[in-house]
Amino acid sequence: MSLELNLITFEKENIDNECVDFENKLSPQVEIDESVSKEDFEKIKERRSEMLSDIKDVIIDYFIDEDSPNSVSSHDTDFPQRSLLTGNYYISGEDYEYSDSGEYIGYMVCFCISMTEIFMGKEKDYLGIDICAYFDSVDSEIDYVVISHNSI
């Protein structure tokens, strides 16, 4: 792995909770389901830096490290093409909810990640990734799942 990842933080206030992209550079869209109490949300927010650190490892495992058994592409001609990635990524959205589906009971935080490429000399969006963090209680161990990835 030779690509270094760099989390970009956009701080332009997203007053209307609009869709975020590299061009508008708005802070992430945030959705908090009514199933999450204010107290639990505050406790979960305290773990946000931990989740972001873990998510960086997930991105490396699935999208950067070509030798990883979890790699989503086996050749640089597959999507996503590692050679196109700049290493810059940002959080475009966060969704907080509590699930009681019978299959899974606990908290879920879904992070929408966007990674960039250089196209015609300009940095722009390239890869969208949805990574969900699942945990039984606000202070329990967190499991991460890559839900989807696509071209943006």
Mean pLDDT, to the nearest integer, of 129-150? 94
| CA atoms of 83 and 117, how far apart (whole Å) | 9
Q: Which amino acid is at 29?
A: Q
| CA atoms of 5 and 38, how far apart (whole Å) | 32
CA angle 58, 64, 2 (to 5 degrees): 125
- Overall domain count for the chain: 1
80 lies in some domain:
yes
pLDDT at 19: 93
Confidence band, pLDDT 50/70/90 cuts, at residue 1: low
Cβ(147)–Cβ(134) below 8 Å? no
Lookup: tokens for 90: 């940002």
Q: 20 is in which domain, residue-wise?
A: 6-151
pTM for this model (two decimals): 0.91
Give the contacts of 37 (CB within 8 A, at least 6 positions apart): none
141 lies in some domain:
yes
pLDDT in tens, 72-120: 877 767 788 888 999 999 999 999 999 887 777 899 999 999 999 999 9
135 lies in some domain:
yes
1 lies in some domain:
no
